[in-house]
């Protein structure tokens, strides 16, 4: 613990932590130490873990990196935190992220941007940017992020780490601040596949507090790690041929396709003609859900409250105007618009239909293939400030990660070494629903 506290201190300039839990981490460490001496410790005994600042931990502040929740103390723990603690992990602090997890660069945080440890002038990706940097700079052993449309995988990719988005319904969302509830999933960011497997094993599985969690039994992921078989892999042709794809990422992926073939996997190019519909469908559906989820922040129930309002309506308006940042407001407006009477059929309902088509298309592909391969992001980490002027540029960068978010499939970002300037490159594999065991075993053999 002292080592990680020192690492955090040495890397303060990266702004990865919104708060370090000095006191509760020490207390937990003492408890775990005793258990280890008695031989009664849990599966994660001594693992030092950071959590994204949108995951509730009883009696600790949780803000979603928003002024709206600045100083808000959670009255209960999320299921994921409960499960970490039950297995004797030590939670070291809460990590910076985009405001309400809306963003792909960690620049929308009320608490400021996070620097990539490779070069602090570059973004770490987002929205779980603090989580990725904390693991990258060894400020904790592993971190939890949340992934709605890529927020675990893309920052992991930008920071050279492993990011796993489990199947929708694998891990409980209870106590995780909602962005878009039919997409949100908690996922680990780690530097090894072993750690990802161990964490998933502890976090996954049914929960009385979240009815969307599957009751399927949880495999022993760590025990399956060495059981990887030869896979049939579909490469989504349009993603590799995409003009937006950085040439160095493309070259690294093509090289790794050759290596996969040499290892005896069957790799084939398949066409995926729905690529252009992914980002529009994702942003219509997620902003719709967000506008509804964020209606609870009204200045009365939670968080920031304006003190000068003369009427209830004014209280709502001023509290929300002051509490939310620009990106969050943009999405609430967009989501309210696509749900409004008269536009609902044209946007929201249409996007739901597109989501169904995407899901069906992937199900058909998975009848013939075990895994789907694509890039994670079109570019490596970019400069802080570069993409913030134009929200559409930022949204379009989600093109490859939102596919499994729309379909609910599990997906992993794996590091592919660095480019010539030392920036991490990455590759994405998508698996069948609830086949994280296969995905992790394959990843283990791949790295």
- Residue 71 contacts residue 65 (beta carbons within 8 Å): no
The tokens describing 435, both together, are 């086949």
Which position's Cβ is nearest ligand GLN? 151
Considering the candidates 109, 127, 131, 374, report the single residue annotated as catalytic: 127
Considering the candidates 65, 77, 105, 151, report the single residue annotated as catalytic: 151
- Tell me the torsion sign for CA atoms 165, 166, 172, 173: positive
What are the distances in angstroms from CA 391 to CA 153, 331, 384? Answer: 20, 11, 14
Cα–Cα distance for residue pair 321/326, rounded to 1 Å: 9
**For ligand GLN, which residue of 109, 148, 228, 409 counts as binding (CB under 6 A)?**
148
**For ligand GLN, which residue of 124, 130, 150, 408 counts as binding (CB under 6 A)?**
150
329 burial (CB, 10 Å; 0-12 / 13-18 / 19+) is middle
Does 109 interact with ligand GLN (rule: CB under 6 A)? no
- Local structure of 445: helix, strand or coil: helix
Strands 424-431 and 371-375: antiparallel
**For ligand GLN, which residue of 102, 113, 198, 267 counts as binding (CB under 6 A)?**
102
Cα–Cα distance for residue pair 216/167, rounded to 1 Å: 12
Does 332 interact with ligand GLN (rule: CB under 6 A)? no
214 burial (CB, 10 Å; 0-12 / 13-18 / 19+) is middle
Please identify, among the stretches 28-36, 99-107, 227-235, 361-369, the one whose residues bind ligand GLN according to the rule CB under 6 A. Answer: 99-107
- Residue 380 contacts residue 355 (beta carbons within 8 Å): no
- Residue 407 contacts residue 400 (beta carbons within 8 Å): no
Does 127 interact with ligand GLN (rule: CB under 6 A)? yes
Does 178 interact with ligand GLN (rule: CB under 6 A)? no
Cα–Cα distance for residue pair 131/266, rounded to 1 Å: 34
Does 147 interact with ligand GLN (rule: CB under 6 A)? yes
Cα–Cα distance for residue pair 104/121, rounded to 1 Å: 16
Distance in Å, CB of 395 to ligand GLN, minimum: 7
Distance of CA 292 to the CA centre of its chain: 21
Here's the x/- map for ligand GLN, 279-318, by CB under 6 A: it reads as -------x--------------------------------
Please identify, among the stretches 17-25, 143-151, 259-267, 308-316, the one whose residues bind ligand GLN according to the rule CB under 6 A. Answer: 143-151
**For ligand GLN, which residue of 104, 303, 335, 404 counts as binding (CB under 6 A)?**
104
Does 398 interact with ligand GLN (rule: CB under 6 A)? yes
**For ligand GLN, which residue of 18, 74, 131, 151 counts as binding (CB under 6 A)?**
151
Helices (H), 263-347: 275-293, 312-323, 326-339
Distance of CA 93 to the CA centre of its chain: 17
Strands 371-375 and 266-270: unpaired
Does 149 interact with ligand GLN (rule: CB under 6 A)? yes
- Local structure of 148: helix, strand or coil: coil
Please identify, among the stretches 16-24, 56-64, 142-150, 191-199, the one whose residues bind ligand GLN according to the rule CB under 6 A. Answer: 142-150
Residue 290 or 315: the one with the smaller Cβ distance to ligand GLN is 290
Residue 42 or 410: the one with the smaller Cβ distance to ligand GLN is 410
- Residue 102 contacts residue 5 (beta carbons within 8 Å): no
Distance in Å, CB of 296 to ligand GLN, minimum: 18
Residue 15 or 151: the one with the smaller Cβ distance to ligand GLN is 151
Strands 162-165 and 411-418: antiparallel
**For ligand GLN, which residue of 101, 189, 384, 414 counts as binding (CB under 6 A)?**
101
Cα–Cα distance for residue pair 287/35, rounded to 1 Å: 46
Residue 105 or 191: the one with the smaller Cβ distance to ligand GLN is 105
Distance in Å, CB of 280 to ligand GLN, minimum: 13
**For ligand GLN, which residue of 179, 324, 348, 400 counts as binding (CB under 6 A)?**
179
Residue 399 or 431: the one with the smaller Cβ distance to ligand GLN is 399
**For ligand GLN, which residue of 103, 160, 166, 325 counts as binding (CB under 6 A)?**
103
Does 228 interact with ligand GLN (rule: CB under 6 A)? no
* CA distance from start to end of the chain: 28
Q: Is residue 151 among the annotated active site residues?
A: yes
Residue 85 or 288: the one with the smaller Cβ distance to ligand GLN is 288
* Maximum Cα interatomic distance, the chain, rounded to a whole number of Å: 71
Residue 103 or 404: the one with the smaller Cβ distance to ligand GLN is 103
- Residue 427 contacts residue 233 (beta carbons within 8 Å): no
Distance in Å, CB of 203 to ligand GLN, minimum: 17
* Phi and psi torsions of 291, nearest 5°: -60, -35
Residue 101 or 267: the one with the smaller Cβ distance to ligand GLN is 101
- For binding to ligand GLN (CB under 6 A), which residues are involved? 101-104, 127, 147-151, 179, 286, 398
Residues serving a catalytic function are: 52, 127, 151
């Amino acid at each position: 613990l002292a080592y990680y506290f020192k690492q955090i201190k040495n890397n303060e300039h990266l702004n990865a932590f919104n708060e370090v839990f000095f006191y509760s981490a020490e207390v937990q460490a003492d408890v775990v130490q005793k258990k280890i001496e008695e031989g009664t410790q849990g599966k994660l005994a001594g693992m030092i873990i950071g959590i994204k600042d949108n995951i509730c931990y009883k009696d600790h502040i949780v803000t979603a990196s928003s002024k709206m929740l600045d100083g808000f103390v959670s009255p209960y723990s999320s299921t994921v935190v409960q499960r970490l603690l039950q297995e004797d992990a030590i939670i070291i602090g809460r990590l910076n992220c985009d405001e309400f997890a809306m963003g792909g660069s960690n620049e929308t945080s009320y608490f400021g941007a996070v620097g990539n440890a490779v070069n602090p002038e570059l973004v770490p990706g987002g929205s779980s940017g603090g989580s990725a940097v904390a693991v990258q700079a060894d400020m904790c052993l592993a971190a939890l992020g949340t992934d709605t449309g890529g927020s675990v995988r893309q920052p992991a990719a930008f920071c050279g780490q492993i990011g796993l988005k489990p199947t929708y319904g694998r891990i409980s969302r209870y106590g995780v601040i909602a962005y878009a509830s039919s997409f949100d999933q908690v996922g680990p960011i780690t530097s090894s596949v072993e750690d990802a497997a161990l964490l998933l094993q502890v976090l996954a599985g049914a929960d009385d507090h979240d009815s969307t969690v599957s009751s399927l039994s949880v495999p022993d992921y760590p025990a399956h790690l060495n059981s990887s078989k030869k896979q049939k892999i579909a490469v989504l042709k349009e993603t590799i041929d995409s003009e937006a794809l950085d040439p160095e990422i493309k070259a690294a992926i093509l090289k790794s396709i050759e290596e996969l073939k040499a290892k005896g996997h069957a790799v084939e190019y398949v066409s995926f003609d729905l690529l252009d519909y992914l980002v529009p469908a994702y942003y219509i559906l997620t902003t719709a859900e967000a506008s509804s989820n964020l209606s609870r922040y009204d200045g009365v129930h939670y968080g920031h409250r304006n003190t000068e309002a003369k009427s209830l309506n004014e209280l709502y308006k001023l509290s929300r105007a002051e509490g939310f940042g620009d990106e969050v407001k943009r999405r609430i407006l967009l989501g309210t618009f696509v749900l409004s009477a008269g536009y609902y059929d044209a946007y929201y309902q249409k996007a739901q239909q597109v989501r169904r088509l995407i899901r069906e298309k992937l199900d058909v592909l998975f009848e013939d293939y075990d895994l789907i391969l694509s890039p994670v992001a079109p570019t490596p980490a970019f400069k802080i400030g570069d993409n913030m002027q134009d929200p559409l540029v930022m949204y379009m960068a989600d093109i490859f990660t939102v596919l499994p978010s729309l379909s609910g499939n599990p997906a992993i970002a794996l590091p592919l070494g660095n480019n010539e300037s030392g920036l991490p490159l990455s590759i994405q594999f998508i698996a069948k629903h609830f086949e994280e065991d296969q995905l992790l075993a394959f990843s283990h053999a791949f790295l």
